[in-house]
Chains A and B, each alone.
Chain A
């Protein structure tokens, strides 16, 4: 089974509740789902929709053709009817009209009024949907009492039951939950990964689509004993994170492109002062304000190159919520080990797409702090914050721990003690020391994940969240095909892992980059680092995510 429905309306029409509760019902029923959210940058009105695709096995991505449309207004029907399958349905209240025979109208608002609460209108629709898809409703009581006061919950149950009575079951939803699963979006993965890694301090400024990391952390702050501080601007946000990190706690900030631009000077500061910091950069279409609520992967080259001067940083592109969880936790270990900034690249698609994933395993998370042992210094050894070592990594001591010892850090070039210097030889040794750390980091970058056929003729390249669509696109392409398709999707992307790519590039007939941007930034990076040229590109930059079918179609055209 594989169903795909769209719920659309104007902001403020109760679409969020409808979609959220329906998602919860599907999840509780043991089904897997993938939701795509499309909303405009406004609080009221506009056209917004959710697409919920569900199945009895993991759903990799969204798809375009629809089995059903739940139209809360006329506009939803008019805009999306073209994507509705021949045997699909449109569910709407009596205010929506169409000559199309697939339209089913129900008096949801009227029923809700009769029940005594117009706000339960969406529960009538929910009841109808659940019955239509043969989804059991035994836990509806729990869901509603978790959301509302007792009397309101009762009204919702009544509306739900009356909605069920309006239809027969048409679709059969089997249930075969593949093991222990979670219903999360990518930003949940980041926030939970950070908490699992021992995050203690998060400072940020609200910016779509990164905001939900902070709102989740804020909700958990008290129980988790984490400080979550809304800074006055992104400059303060990153400087606070760096300041907290200096004292020895794990600290992080998160933003989108515009806010990251404000953070860039501090990024270089973390580089020269060698203070670990983790930055979640959740991309949206730019430049400037761009398309605030939509998706794009256009900050790759920026994340790699941001800041004046030269210093090492790591950039990790997050591929899916699970990856977000494990990679975020790993980012803290890398930041601590190499005493440098680590940038996590997400995007709106990953941030907002609520999906069923394999349950995160916290026991797989190892916390590796790489802090200097105070003992030798307590015994009188001289401490030098920027001691020159073969690895380039200097002992990082927590300030305040050792009497008679000062931990000095500096944004100016400095000597081993952390004191300002302009001596040419010291400058050289410090630049080289920082560069050695980056060289060492190259040894532990992870190769891209291979999807599809290992002995492929056509190699698709992607990075980050396009993993979702590519994993399904490759399946589509390999169906009844003489040609064999495979894909490499980069997670670790700077330093750039090149071994697998170089190996595959030798044997394939064509290499095609698939990206959510105009310039083909991955193609540029690959060419710059390896000299490998693409034979074609699949790019989209209108703010909407490529779909697997669309990728397959466009790849075949090349």
Chain B
């Protein structure tokens, strides 16, 4: 097969050892396994190191403004449901600058997949605290340590009614790919918060720090990911133990399922109907 019909990665500007590599690799392999074609995929990013992901894969790429990955991604999916629309962007982009879009795109429930490269730090701007930085974290802007409480993205997403909420870790590629696959197959908005070390600017939440704490929800006692109460309880767990896996899952209508005229075609393919508009004009006669 011609090279451009397979998923290929392109040379990146990431630091050696960055967690982004694992995400890019996992994504490439997952998409290959799902048998979609590169031209059928649209990856949208905001601004940041993670947000450069669309640049590094031979798919349709949309690098938006900082914090503004979700709105165009949702609209692109609404306009052309044949595209597999993925958002790859960071914790600052998703939960800070784009916080309002995070909230409302959960409500909107467009069939898009949101992979948050969550390294609890700002990388591109060289080491400021992020919305997920833990209390006390000393950064450039917080020499005395962070005093603002961190956002809990998975608990927030569950509280807002997201239909698919998962957490993964770049240290476990197989599990990460499984989460990606499940998220990509979910009809509606799916969030995967991916824990990822920043080797250059986060000296606290390192690979070892995460490795020591993470465990899979599927390990041990049986976990029911459709039980919202249990999901919320697990979502609040953070610190010594951090759960990985599908925290919550609920099948519901996605945005475009509400429109009869999108059942058999896409917005893009709809022909222009002059007669209908002529009728609207005549209502004013």
A418 touches B61 (CB 8 A): yes
B63 touches A406 (CB 8 A): no
> Which of A181, A246, A269, A401 contacts B65, CB < 8 Å?
A269
**Residues in B whose Cβ lies below 8 Å from that of A239:** 64-65, 68, 71-72, 75
| A111: interface (CB < 8 Å) | no
Q: What is the distance, in angstroms, from A33's C-beta to the closest C-beta of chain B?
A: 13
**Residues in A whose Cβ lies below 8 Å from that of B212:** none
| B55: interface (CB < 8 Å) | yes
**Residues in B whose Cβ lies below 8 Å from that of A200:** 79, 267-268, 270
**Residues in A whose Cβ lies below 8 Å from that of B82:** 400
> Which of A192, A225, A229, A242 contacts B72, CB < 8 Å?
A242
Output the residue of A196, A239, A247 with the most chain B CB within 10 A: A247
**Residues in A whose Cβ lies below 8 Å from that of B251:** none
Known: A225-B270, A266-B65. A244 touches B278 (CB 8 A): no
A247 touches B63 (CB 8 A): no
**Residues in A whose Cβ lies below 8 Å from that of B62:** 243, 246, 408-409
B277 touches A362 (CB 8 A): yes
Q: What is the distance, in angstroms, from B199's C-beta to the closest C-beta of chain A?
A: 21
Q: Among residues 218 to 271 in chain B, which have CB atoms less than 8 Å away from a CB atom of chain A?
A: 259, 261, 267-268, 270
> Which of B2, B63, B79, B285 contacts A249, CB < 8 Å?
B79
> Which of A224, A247, A409, A411 contacts B277, CB < 8 Å?
A224
| B121: interface (CB < 8 Å) | no
Docked complex Cα distance between A233 and B70 (Å): 13
Docked complex Cα distance between A440 and B8 (Å): 38
Known: A182-B284, A235-B68, A236-B104. A400 touches B272 (CB 8 A): no
| A556: interface (CB < 8 Å) | no
B37 touches A265 (CB 8 A): no
Q: What is the distance, in angstroms, from A556's C-beta to the closest C-beta of chain B?
A: 38
A411 touches B47 (CB 8 A): yes
Q: What is the distance, in angstroms, from B56's C-beta to the closest C-beta of chain A?
A: 9
| A359: interface (CB < 8 Å) | yes
**Residues in B whose Cβ lies below 8 Å from that of A269:** 64-65, 68
A362 touches B274 (CB 8 A): yes
**Residues in B whose Cβ lies below 8 Å from that of A196:** 274, 277, 281
A192 touches B68 (CB 8 A): no
A227 touches B267 (CB 8 A): yes
> Which of B54, B72, B75, B83 contacts A408, CB < 8 Å?
B54
> Which of A184, A229, A420 contacts B284, CB < 8 Å?
A184
Docked complex Cα distance between A367 and B274 (Å): 11
> Which of B39, B52, B270, B274 contacts A404, CB < 8 Å?
B39
| A152: interface (CB < 8 Å) | no
Q: What is the distance, in angstroms, from B208's C-beta to the closest C-beta of chain A?
A: 32
**Residues in A whose Cβ lies below 8 Å from that of B270:** 200, 225
Binary B-proximity of A475-517 (CB < 8 A = 1, otherwise 0): 0000000000000000000000000000000000000000000
| A223: interface (CB < 8 Å) | yes
Q: What is the distance, in angstroms, from A206's C-beta to the closest C-beta of chain B?
A: 15
Q: Among residues 241 to 300 in chain A, which have CB atoms less than 8 Å away from a CB atom of chain B?
A: 241-244, 246-249, 251, 265-266, 269
Binary A-proximity of B6-50 (CB < 8 A = 1, otherwise 0): 000010010000000000000000000000011110101001000
| A220: interface (CB < 8 Å) | yes
| B213: interface (CB < 8 Å) | no
| A133: interface (CB < 8 Å) | no
Q: Among residues 45 to 97 in chain B, which have CB atoms less than 8 Å away from a CB atom of chain A?
A: 47, 52, 54-55, 58-65, 68, 70-76, 78-80, 82-83
| B151: interface (CB < 8 Å) | no
Residue of B nearest to A233 (CB): B100
Q: What is the distance, in angstroms, from B108's C-beta to the closest C-beta of chain A?
A: 8
| B103: interface (CB < 8 Å) | yes
> Which of A181, A241, A400 contacts B75, CB < 8 Å?
A241
Residue of B nearest to A242 (CB): B72
| B5: interface (CB < 8 Å) | yes
Q: What is the distance, in angstroms, from A558's C-beta to the closest C-beta of chain B?
A: 39
| A198: interface (CB < 8 Å) | yes
B285 touches A180 (CB 8 A): yes
Docked complex Cα distance between A53 and B83 (Å): 53
**Residues in A whose Cβ lies below 8 Å from that of B80:** 247-249, 399-400
A240 touches B63 (CB 8 A): no
Known: A239-B71, A400-B39. A244 touches B272 (CB 8 A): no
Q: What is the distance, in angstroms, from B114's C-beta to the closest C-beta of chain A?
A: 14
> Which of A233, A243, A362 contacts B281, CB < 8 Å?
A362
B42 touches A399 (CB 8 A): yes
**Residues in A whose Cβ lies below 8 Å from that of B267:** 200-201, 225, 227, 244, 249
Docked complex Cα distance between A232 and B104 (Å): 6
Residue of A nearest to B281 (CB): A360
Residue of B nearest to A405 (CB): B39
B39 touches A248 (CB 8 A): no
A243 touches B72 (CB 8 A): yes
Docked complex Cα distance between A522 and B5 (Å): 54
B261 touches A225 (CB 8 A): yes
**Residues in B whose Cβ lies below 8 Å from that of A246:** 62, 72, 76
Q: Among residues 406 to 430 in chain A, which have CB atoms less than 8 Å away from a CB atom of chain B?
A: 406-412, 418-420
Residue of A nearest to B4 (CB): A404
B5 touches A411 (CB 8 A): no
Binary A-proximity of B95-126 (CB < 8 A = 1, otherwise 0): 00000110110001000000000000000000
B55 touches A420 (CB 8 A): yes
A400 touches B259 (CB 8 A): no
Known: A400-B39, A406-B58. A243 touches B71 (CB 8 A): yes
**Residues in B whose Cβ lies below 8 Å from that of A410:** 55, 61, 63
| A63: interface (CB < 8 Å) | no
> Which of A182, A241, A402, A419 contacts B55, CB < 8 Å?
A419
Q: Among residues 185 to 214 in chain A, which have CB atoms less than 8 Å away from a CB atom of chain B?
A: 188, 192, 195-196, 198, 200-201, 203
Docked complex Cα distance between A220 and B278 (Å): 12
**Residues in A whose Cβ lies below 8 Å from that of B141:** none
**Residues in B whose Cβ lies below 8 Å from that of A418:** 61
**Residues in B whose Cβ lies below 8 Å from that of A399:** 39, 42, 60, 80, 83
B276 touches A240 (CB 8 A): no
A400 touches B65 (CB 8 A): no
| A231: interface (CB < 8 Å) | yes
| A398: interface (CB < 8 Å) | yes
A225 touches B39 (CB 8 A): no
| A309: interface (CB < 8 Å) | no
Q: What is the distance, in angstroms, from A380's C-beta to the closest C-beta of chain B?
A: 9
**Residues in A whose Cβ lies below 8 Å from that of B272:** 198, 367
B39 touches A406 (CB 8 A): yes
Q: What is the distance, in angstroms, from B230's C-beta to the closest C-beta of chain A?
A: 30
Add 18 more A-B contacts to A243-B75, A407-B61 (CB < 8 A).
Answer: A192-B281, A195-B277, A236-B100, A240-B72, A241-B75, A243-B73, A244-B78, A247-B83, A249-B80, A266-B68, A359-B281, A359-B285, A399-B80, A404-B39, A406-B61, A407-B60, A410-B63, A420-B63
Per CB-CB distance, the 7 closest pairs between chain A and chain B, nearest first, are A243-B72, A243-B75, A232-B104, A239-B71, A240-B75, A182-B284, A404-B4
Name A residues whose Cβ lies closer than 8 Å to a Cβ of B: 180-184, 188, 192, 195-196, 198, 200-201, 203, 220, 222-225, 227, 229, 231-233, 235-236, 239-244, 246-249, 251, 265-266, 269, 359-360, 362, 367, 398-412, 418-420
29 interchain pairs, CB-CB under 8 A: A182-B285, A183-B284, A188-B284, A195-B280, A200-B79, A201-B267, A223-B279, A225-B261, A227-B267, A235-B101, A236-B70, A236-B100, A236-B104, A240-B74, A240-B75, A243-B62, A243-B64, A243-B71, A243-B76, A244-B75, A244-B78, A244-B79, A248-B79, A249-B267, A251-B79, A404-B38, A407-B60, A410-B55, A411-B64
